Copies of this chain bind each other. A is one copy, B any other.
Amino acid sequence: MSRAAVDDVDLLAIKTLKFLAIDAIEAANSGHPGLPLGAADLTWLLFSRYLRHNPKDPHWIDRDRFLLSPGHGSMLLYAMLHLAGYDLSLDELKRFRQWGSKTPGHPEVHLTPGVEVTTGPLGQGFANAVGMALASKMADARFSGLFNHRIWAIVSDGDVMEGIAYEAASMAGHLGLGNLTLIYDDNKITLDGAIDEAFSEDVARRFEACGWRTLSIDGHNHAQILAAYELAASTHDKPTLILARTVIGQGAPTKAGSHKVHGEPLGKNETLAMRRALGWPEDATFVVPEAVRARAEALAASRTAAYDAWQGHCRTWRAEHPAEAAQLDAMLRREVPDALLDQCVAAAPSQTDATRSLGGAIEQRIAALMPSLVGGDADLGGSTKTVIAGSAKVLRGHFEGRNLRFGIREHAMGAVANGMALYGMFIPFTATFLTFSDYMRPAIRLAALSELPVVHVFTHDSIFLGEDGPTHQSIEHVAALRLIPNVHVWRPADAIECAAAWASAAARRDGPSELIFSRQKVDALPGGAERAALAARGGYVLSHEPDGRAPDLVIIATGSEVGLALEAARALSANGRAVRVVSMPCVERFAAQDDAYQHAVLPAEGRRVSIEAGRTDLWHRWVGRDGLALGVDRFGASAPARVLAEKYGLTAPQIVARITDWLNTPSR
């Protein structure tokens, strides 16, 4: 079977994809038929001719990756994965969008074999593909001669309009990611109607300006599709965008080409008319013609040869490159070095310094121990202190380094890091100022939802960054990050806690960690390395009330305010109060401890105060509705940090006075 010859069985297979999608959407009475119908040609011809994969080993490390960035077209992907031989039965297709199925409304990685990435929020998948292509280049640079795969993705009008996609495209073009091919399903229709009411740019020219090769084709013309794939597959110097002009909902007799087909089931009448028009059985659903099944099985079988050949090649490579092979295995296993926490503690500087600098020093140790750690910043490396010493920058044609220059593209940084994590070998980190976490938030959410091992470093974490003022001073960001499910937010108070935070983040396999660091200097807290294991539990008693007394006051603090809490506690203790100070660098980790531990740290006795230089709202979970939550609930201001401390009531004497006043006021 020649790649270029398209026969009747191919045509039948394309129809099969379309009707599997339609039947599933009708059964669910929910879904998006437009894309599956419009992009079935593109998808079948890619999977049947070009995609390097083995449905029996979906995690094969030398597979091509295929992403469907417009995740609402999920049924096209599910139908294709089913035909291709992935472990996704017809029964699962019949349970589209139902509880517990492998076929949710939008594709979810880890849930469905062959689904490489969770997509839905537009633009994310586009940038994930760039991240995968970058990871692939970096893997190839490390393990030269082992890999021979590419990254393919379908992207939609909506993806192309999102700013994150522009950022990612600019980055991909800059780096010359020639292993990346994006297929733009250019159907000119969005949910609300014709795209030309909102969008009229010359997309090809825009991508060319960003260093891409572009190919414009008729997305239903098979010869053109295959020629474009051939050109793309032989391109190595720059990423390729195939602009495939398609008709949304192609095949639907009255709704094709209209926005009515984008996001709602076709309905009974239109489906029946479509069956008649395309000569499809009217009395059966979820039909896979025998010829199509046979062709699909033949294709799957034909994959085995390439797969087996690579396995042989890999054995040879391993024998010739034992050190690289060991590194590769460690990276694939996401191996955590022995006694990582101890190693981090050993690397923790003892001097008074900003936690960004203390964290940076510990990161160097982790980078030395874990070759999987790679990352970079959004043009703030000098400020975030995250550049890996002794390692090169990743630049066009030079992918052996570990330091990424994301540019001033925070959103793409987040999603590219997600793509790199999804690729399966690297633990990527990102870095910028905390206030810009807002720019990355959709990507952070997807890292959490997709359970990706990504580390986000955020520095300049409060009003105490000083003169840059309210646009740059985080007030709500720490709390807002804590709200995203499955995120660990660390705000360490000194070098020991930085060690616990970095060690936990580097070892975490099932979700992102946010490392929140200060711009200003903090003193080392009392107690040495033995505190690290306690800090790793998320919260611990830093300073006890006098022996034999129950605490009448428990002060909980994080980050740069822990020192303040200690100072306040000393003054309050001098007045005869039994004060306990709890440091809580990671609320999520503390909340995951057993009741006994939590209770030991936060006993029933004593009124509670929290101190954190940010929004106080979340602290009432711990201090109660009548507890005193000290922090910053309004925007910051431009002034030196010491002035701000005074103006916002966060000097030690002010804290003591505020707590004393409050203790003297009966709770109601």
Query: Interface on A for B, CB 8 Å cutoff?
Result: 28, 30-31, 71-72, 97-101, 104-106, 108, 118-122, 157-158, 161-167, 170-171, 173-174, 190-192, 195, 197-206, 208-211, 377, 379-383, 393, 395, 405-412, 435-436, 438-439, 441-442, 445-446, 448-449, 466-472, 475-476, 479-480, 482-486, 604, 615, 617-618, 620-627, 633-635, 637-640, 643-644, 647, 668
Contacts and interface: CB of A to CB of B under 8 A. Distances in A.
24 contacts: A97-B467, A99-B640, A99-B644, A104-B470, A104-B638, A106-B469, A106-B638, A108-B469, A119-B471, A157-B408, A174-B201, A198-B379, A198-B406, A202-B210, A204-B209, A205-B205, A205-B208, A438-B445, A449-B635, A475-B485, A483-B617, A617-B621, A620-B625, A622-B625
Among A380, A409, A625, residue most surrounded by chain B Cβ atoms (within 10 Å): A625
A99 B644 CA distance: 8
B435 A121 contact: yes
A161 B167 contact: yes
A642 to B, nearest CB: 10
A98 B639 contact: yes
Contact of A482 (B157, B195, B201, B617): B617
Contacts of A472: 105-106, 120-121
Among A382, A467, A647, residue most surrounded by chain B Cβ atoms (within 10 Å): A467
A71 B106 contact: no
Given A162-B439, A479-B483, A625-B627, 13 more contacts: A99-B639, A99-B643, A105-B472, A121-B435, A166-B167, A174-B200, A190-B407, A191-B382, A191-B383, A192-B377, A192-B379, A202-B208, A618-B618
Contacts of A637: 99, 104
B202 A209 contact: yes
A471 to B, nearest CB: 3
Contacts of A442: 436, 438-439
A315 B461 CA distance: 52
A174 B198 contact: yes
Nearest to A433: B121
B668 A99 contact: no
Contact of A476 (B105, B171, B381, B483): B483
A604 B668 contact: yes
Contacts of A408: 122, 157-158, 161-162, 190, 198
Contacts of A470: 104, 106, 108, 449
A178 B367 CA distance: 51
A406 to B, nearest CB: 7
A622 B624 CA distance: 9
B161 A163 contact: no
A77 to B, nearest CB: 14
A209 B211 contact: no
A483 B436 CA distance: 16
A446 B435 CA distance: 11
Contacts of A623: 625
Contact of A120 (B104, B202, B471, B640): B471
Given A200-B211, A625-B624, A120 B468 contact: yes
Contacts of A210: 201-202, 206
A328 to B, nearest CB: 28
Contact of A105 (B395, B410, B449, B468): B468
A621 B438 CA distance: 24
B99 A192 contact: no
Contacts of A163: 162-167, 409, 411-412
A479 B481 CA distance: 11
Contacts of A166: 163, 166-167
A137 to B, nearest CB: 16
Contacts of A620: 620-621, 624-625
Contacts of A380: 191-192
Contacts of A409: 161-163
A479 B165 CA distance: 28
- 4 nearest interchain CB pairs? A163-B163, A120-B471, A104-B638, A198-B407
Contact of A198 (B99, B405, B622): B405
B379 A105 contact: no
A115 B358 CA distance: 38
A435 B173 CA distance: 30
Contacts of A647: 99
Contacts of A199: 170, 174, 407
